[in-house]
Amino acid sequence: MDSQALIFTSDGVDLPGSDISVISSDGKIFRVHKNNLACASITFADMLDVGGSMPGSGPEVKLVEPATVLARMLPFAYPRIISPYSIDFIADFHIAQALFKYQVQN
């Protein structure tokens, strides 16, 4: 997979070959890969393992985090594509909370 093509924005993302849609609290859709989520996060792995999907979701997963947080958290499931970004302590705090909540490891 060409890492240059993987761009996460707060408008969402549609990755080639994606098999699950993660929907932010503000309705933005991030079409990503289950395997990447499961490998990066034991929490996602456990949620995806129970019946093959998260509760009430099927191929869609609704999370309580806004798109601005998911756009910065989800690239941790694709470790080779994390790009440098400016420091925003308030946003980084919310991203750190989400990384901790979903036990995302890089």
The residue among 3, 27, 28 whose CA lies nearest residue 15 is 3
Residue 26 near residue 43 (C-beta atoms within 8 A): no
Residues 6+ apart with CB under 8 A from 5: 16
Question: Which segment of 10-19, 36-45, 51-60 scores lowest on mean pLDDT?
Answer: 51-60
The residue among 24, 27, 37 whose CA lies nearest residue 75 is 37
pLDDT score, position 10: 85
- pLDDT greater than 90 at residue 85: no
Q: pLDDT band at 56, cuts 50/70/90?
A: very low
Residues 6+ apart with CB under 8 A from 40: 76, 77, 79, 104, 105, 106
Which run of H or E residues covers position 30?
A: strand 29-32
Residue 45 near residue 38 (C-beta atoms within 8 A): yes
3-state helix, strand, coil in the chain (%, to 5): 40, 15, 40
Whole-number average pLDDT of the chain: 79
